[in-house]
Amino acid sequence: MSAGEVIIRAEHVYKLFGPQPRGRAFELTQSGMGKDEVHARTGHVVGLNDVNFDVRQGEIFVIMGLSGSGKSTAIRTVNKLLETTHGKVIIDDVDVQQLTGPPLQSFRREKTGMVFQHFALFPHRTIIDNVGYGLKVQGISKAERDNASMRALGLVGLGAYAHYSPSQLSGGMQQRVGLARALAADPPILLMDEAFSALDPLIRRQMQDEMMDIQANLKKTILFITHDLNEALRIGDRVCIMKDGQVVQIGTPEEILTQPATGYVAEFVQDVDQGRVIQVHEIMVEPSPVEKTAELRDAMAHLGDRSGSFVLDADGKPEALLAASDAIRVSGTGGSTADALRTDFAVARPENTLNEVYADAGRGLPIAIVDDSGKLVGNLDPRHIMEEMGRVESLIDNFEREVFM
Ligand SMILES: Nc1ncnc2c1ncn2[C@@H]1O[C@H](COP(=O)(O)OP(=O)(O)O)[C@@H](O)[C@H]1O
Ligand SMILES: [Mg+2]
């Protein structure tokens, strides 16, 4: 199978929930009746309504939609965790819905790995045994599965934690273990249902980046589900937007942004290309406080490529800012760290939108992000605001350039 070939194909897939899914509810749905009315008339819930999509070998295909739009139902028909009411799902020329028993099990095992939002680890097994559990069930020897598990843990950056127990790992790390478990059997297809949705935003972006790296290196095909358009546009090669069980639009992020197929998509997109939906916590970085008693040279080294860091008081509240620009100026005159500190820094909250901090960011100084009690929880670099706001614009610009020049 070469890159670009279709590896998963959904053909006219319908899924109705209720006692008689193939009865009148299906007829009404097929004749064009919407989800709400079908429900009102028959008591059946329309999960999927004539869903068609192709996923190509090696791409990240994202299904995006609001809660209840049918995303989980769609991904579950792909490995037959759910039976379809009508229609086919073809993977590598195999009609998945026709499989049963051992052939279905080996198909799932060999072709797909699945990662869920809430990923449960066996509490009394070590990380490596958790990752290798699926292989154990397949009767693979301890040595062989440890090998595979270590390789998978290495891919998600957890090689050093193989012999820890789950309770010693943070939520984000546990979710990585979930990804490692899916990767352990080295399946060509990863099915990820809101895999990062429960993670806090900093970790979530890291995971997105790492997953994109893994995908680029291993050439997996990833079917990724999210309710977050930002996430979809960030990681998707192509994005499929669903509403009420139907596919509304499939396209590259550029196509979705610049040629929304319907008013529904346009409304979503409008929210994205404004700084008004992106919140500070999505792009702030971990604070890395400086000591006011530190040698200025050491404090500058500590800043690294940050445009500044904060000095904290005994309660963890920011009391001063060491800006890189100030530090450079003062070090030129032989001054100390204390000489370079300033107290006229801007403060914002994690839930502020980028538009709300935009004016402060114009000063070029980092903004202190504090929680309810005034404690420093993040460091917002104005460069990151510009990058984030510029990202969607540059998507559009590049797209227009390609098309019109
Ligand atoms: N087992 C079920 N029984 C009845 N209705 C269901 C079942 N699973 C899902 N649904 C309904 O199908 C629709 C799609 O659900 P789902 O695929 O879980 O949405 P999403 O993942 O996009 O939030 C929703 O209206 C949901 O209530
Ligand atoms: Mg879901």
* The token pair that represents 384 in the structure block: 């990151």
pLDDT digits (tens, 9 = 90+) for 174-209: 989 999 999 999 999 999 999 998 887 778 888 898
Q: Are residues 98 and 172 in the same domain?
A: yes
Choose one of 14, 15, 72 to mutate for the ligand 1 pocket test, by most ligand atoms within 8 angstroms of C-beta.
72
152 located within any domain: yes
Q: Are residues 265 and 288 in the same domain?
A: no
| Chosen domain end from 272, 303, 328 | 272
248 located within any domain: yes
Choose one of 69, 114, 248 to mutate for the ligand 1 pocket test, by most ligand atoms within 8 angstroms of C-beta.
69
25 located within any domain: no
- The alpha carbon of 106 and the centre of ligand 2 are apart by a number of angstroms equal to 25
- The alpha carbon of 74 and the centre of ligand 2 are apart by a number of angstroms equal to 9
Residue 269's pLDDT band (cuts 50, 70, 90): confident
Global pTM exceeds 0.85: no
Q: What order of strands is seen across the sheet that includes strand 318-323? A: 308-312, 318-323, 341-342
Q: Are residues 60 and 113 in the same domain?
A: yes
325 located within any domain: yes
| Cβ-contact 310, 379 below 8 angstroms | yes
Domain boundaries, position 158: 52-272
C-alpha closest to that of 377 among 199, 204, 200: 200
29-63: b (≥16 Cβ within 10 Å) or e: beeebebeebbeebebbbbbbbbebbbebbbbbbb
pLDDT digits (tens, 9 = 90+) for 289-345: 999 999 999 999 999 989 999 999 999 999 999 999 999 999 999 999 999 999 999
Task: List ligand 1's pocket residues with C-beta within 6 A.
Answer: 17, 45, 47, 65, 67-73
Q: Are residues 143 and 176 in the same domain?
A: yes
CATH number at residue 351: 3.10.580.10
Q: Are residues 160 and 209 in the same domain?
A: yes
Predicted pLDDT of residue 373:
97
| Chosen domain end from 272, 292, 307 | 272
CA 370 to chain centre: 25
Q: Are residues 79 and 107 in the same domain?
A: yes
Residue 400's pLDDT band (cuts 50, 70, 90): very low
188 located within any domain: yes
Q: What order of strands is seen across the sheet that includes strand 189-193? A: 112-115, 189-193, 221-226, 60-65, 238-243, 246-251
Measured distance CA(92)–CA(102) in Å, rounded: 18
Q: Are residues 110 and 143 in the same domain?
A: yes
Find the mean pLDDT for residues 110-131. 89
**Structural domain count of the chain:** 2
Measured distance CA(56)–CA(237) in Å, rounded: 10
- The alpha carbon of 194 and the centre of ligand 2 are apart by a number of angstroms equal to 7
228 located within any domain: yes
Category of 368 on φ-ψ map: left (φ > 0), alpha (ψ -120 to 50) or beta: beta
Predicted pLDDT of residue 258:
75
- The alpha carbon of 399 and the centre of ligand 2 are apart by a number of angstroms equal to 31
| Chosen domain end from 228, 256, 272 | 272
